[in-house]
Amino acid sequence: MWINASSGLKVASNKTSTSPTSSINLAAPQILRRLLRTPRRGLSPIVKLAPRDRLSLISRHLNTNAHVPLNTPFSIERDSSPNDDLDWTPIQKATQNPLQQQQTRSFSETREVSLGEEGKRDKPAAIKMSNQAPHPALLIPGPIEFDDEVLQAMSHYSESHVGMPFVNLFGDTLSMLRKLFQTTDPKSQPFVISGSGTLGWDQVAANMVEPGDEVLVLHTGYFADSFADCFEAYGVKVTQLKAPIGDRPQQDEVEKALKEKNYKLITITHTDTSTGVLSEIEGITKLVQRVSPDTHIVVDGVCSVGCEEIRFDDWGIDCVITASQKAIGCPAGLSIVMTSGRAIERFKARKTPPATYFASWKNWMPIMQNYEAKKPSYFATPSPQLIHALHTSLSQILSKPLEERFKIHREASQKVKKAIADLGLKQLASKPENQANGMTAIYLPEGMTPPEILPTLMKKGVIFAGGLHKEIATKYVRFGHMGVSVTDPKRDDIDRALKALKDGLTEVGYKGANGGA
């Protein structure tokens, strides 16, 4: 037995014992590291090895055929292999090595896949579809359920945001957005910036108008109030044209308002998520172009793009703002804006610089133009993983005619609304022409509040949203039916939700739920 004078480490010599159990594990990396770290001055001779033995100790750490690699997040030791020429006992680990198994998850089952089985596959088991963990169906007006391929795109390996693979993908994504918004005008400009749909409000308020300008906001719910607040933060003067809850401003009222002031902008919330009210975009644009042609038309399409028809060029829209997490079907985190050539010219003619840095089109426009032209460019770092997910989602959406997609959403909406009526319930948007196709806002039975029904629905595997409109928030719930929940024929989200609503209402004491949903 030899002793390191400085550390007190006892080491067994090969000469004193031939038993494998009595000698130290010379291959254990942590022992070798301690020996190598020991100051040379205080170390007595430890063990004498033949050249072949010394080479063996080194080569086992350089062996490219080692079945468990060194220096990984999963292992700091190396298991023994049959070819080791020095006897040693591997360290017994208390916890299982994560490399020993992988799990695939689906909506219906969980099972383990061994590394042996994994090695026989052409592709890893994790690439299989339906890998999402079991969870309640998220049927709120956004975020929505996501397709497996979209979520898998989010797991793309890290890459440079100015490298050509990503630049090409981002350029294709911007081009696909033109198809989604139905614009072929080369002067129109798409923007995709990291942020929520709210960032779209800032882009409009900071870039398309200046302090002191007049803006007309058509009010159909909570989000018109918020858009107005955003304008006021930039010194813009706002007039709101309000309608009763569940209704929308009528065209004669809009015409009257347009004639009273010189408005630089008019904003229309296509689908107000707080009320489920759908505005008629085409009719309003024709009216504005006839009565006040210099007024630019801005559409808040956060809850409509991807499930409601928007013909950007044909209807003469100047700007549409939206977000990734609703009917487009991509995880939250991207502010998506489409602007007309006329809006860009208005921006370039500003008398004052935009009162923003991150949301300024002065900074972002050359970046978007370069990306679409497949040229690397930089202002602020985008999210490559979210852009990959958006690219996948847009590829799925555009794989079929858009009119077919809109038809599927209309049919699903009619099914939901009929079931709601059969239950004896009413919608906030009582007129059929005011009812959105991607969501439904449902009045609860008299005396019932969202906290009484929402937990029951969750237990049945369905998530609805509570009320949002500040005047009636405790009286209704919101049911989102857009994206893969309605377009994927393999999913039964809508049927399960309607059954859960009927059964849930009965359980909490609603007598009218016995009628046929």
| Peptide bond between residue 143 and the one before it cis (omega within 30 degrees of 0) | yes
The structure's pTM equals 0.75
Judged against a pLDDT cut of 60, whether residue 498 lies above it is answered with: yes
Question: Rounded to whole angstroms, how far apart are CA atoms 35 and 38?
Answer: 5
| pLDDT band, residue 110 (cuts 50/70/90) | very low
Q: Give the model's pLDDT for residue 313.
A: 98
Residues β-bridged to residue 305: 308
| pLDDT band, residue 512 (cuts 50/70/90) | confident
Question: Rounded to whole angstroms, how far apart are CA atoms 396 and 490?
Answer: 15
Q: Give the model's pLDDT for residue 21.
A: 40
Q: How large is the average pLDDT for residues 459-487?
A: 97
Judged against a pLDDT cut of 90, whether residue 198 lies above it is answered with: yes
Judged against a pLDDT cut of 70, whether residue 301 lies above it is answered with: yes
Q: Give the model's pLDDT for residue 133.
A: 93
Query: What proportion of the chain, given as a percentage, has pLDDT over 70?
Result: 74
90-99, 123-132, 379-388, 501-510: which range is least confident on average?
90-99
Containing 218, the helix (H) or strand (E) segment is strand 214-219
Per-residue burial over 305-339, b = 16 or more CB atoms within 10 Å of its CB, e = otherwise: bbbbbbebeebbbbbbbbbbbbbbbbbebbbbbbb
| pLDDT band, residue 230 (cuts 50/70/90) | very high
Q: Give the model's pLDDT for residue 351.
A: 97
Contact 443, 458 (CB under 8 A): no
Kindly list the strands in the beta sheet with 319-323, ordered across the sheet, starting from the edge strand earlier in the chain.
189-194, 334-339, 319-323, 296-300, 265-269, 214-219, 237-242
Residues in the chain: 517
Residue recorded with tokens 């804006």:
337
Question: Rounded to whole angstroms, how far apart are CA atoms 417 and 510?
Answer: 18
Tell me the Cα Rg of the chain.
Answer: 32
Query: What proportion of the chain, given as a percentage, has pLDDT over 90?
Result: 73
Residues β-bridged to residue 339: 189, 319
- 490: which 2 tokens? 């393999």
Q: Give the model's pLDDT for residue 131.
A: 79
Q: Strand locations in 38-136, DSSP E?
A: 101-105, 110-114
| pLDDT band, residue 57 (cuts 50/70/90) | very low
- 198: which 2 tokens? 């709210």
Q: Strand locations in 324-434, DSSP E?
A: 334-339
Q: How large is the average pLDDT for residues 170-195?
A: 98
pLDDT tens column, 414-432:
999 999 999 999 999 999 9
Judged against a pLDDT cut of 70, whether residue 6 lies above it is answered with: no
- 424: which 2 tokens? 């004896």
Residues β-bridged to residue 33: none
Contact 288, 266 (CB under 8 A): yes
Q: Give the model's pLDDT for residue 334.
A: 98
Pairing of the two strands 237-242 and 214-219: parallel
| pLDDT band, residue 130 (cuts 50/70/90) | low
| pLDDT band, residue 58 (cuts 50/70/90) | very low
Q: How large is the average pLDDT for residues 49-78?
A: 42
Q: Give the model's pLDDT for residue 76.
A: 33
Quote the Cα angle for 117-123-128, to 5°: 90
- 330: which 2 tokens? 């991509």
* 3-state secondary structure at position 18: coil
Question: Rounded to whole angstroms, how far apart are CA atoms 165 and 169?
Answer: 6
Judged against a pLDDT cut of 60, whether residue 49 lies above it is answered with: no
| pLDDT band, residue 293 (cuts 50/70/90) | very high
Q: Strand locations in 314-358, DSSP E?
A: 319-323, 334-339
- The more confident residue out of 99 and 25 is 25
48-52, 90-94, 308-312: which range is least confident on average?
90-94
- 142: which 2 tokens? 């956004």
Question: Rounded to whole angstroms, how far apart are CA atoms 232 and 236?
Answer: 5
Q: Cβ neighbours of residue 237 under 8 Å, at least 6 residues apart?
A: 212, 213, 214, 215
Containing 173, the helix (H) or strand (E) segment is helix 164-181
Judged against a pLDDT cut of 60, whether residue 299 lies above it is answered with: yes
pLDDT tens column, 233-264:
999 999 999 999 999 999 999 999 999 999 99
- 80: which 2 tokens? 């023994």
Q: Give the model's pLDDT for residue 511.
A: 85
- The more confident residue out of 118 and 410 is 410
Q: Cβ neighbours of residue 308 under 8 Å, at least 6 residues apart?
A: 270, 271, 278, 301, 327, 406, 409, 436, 437, 438
- The more confident residue out of 87 and 490 is 490
Q: Give the model's pLDDT for residue 53.
A: 53
User: Where on the phi/psi map is residue 174: left (φ > 0), alpha (ψ -120 to 50), or beta?
Assistant: alpha
Of residues 221, 329, 335, the one with CA closest to residue 267 = 221
Q: Give the model's pLDDT for residue 52.
A: 54
Question: Rounded to whole angstroms, how far apart are CA atoms 238 and 235?
Answer: 9
Question: Rounded to whole angstroms, how far apart are CA atoms 345 and 410?
Answer: 36
What value does the mean pLDDT of the chain take? 82
- 231: which 2 tokens? 């304008």
Of residues 356, 394, 397, the one with CA closest to residue 486 = 397
Q: Give the model's pLDDT for residue 181.
A: 98
Give me the amino acid identity at 191. F
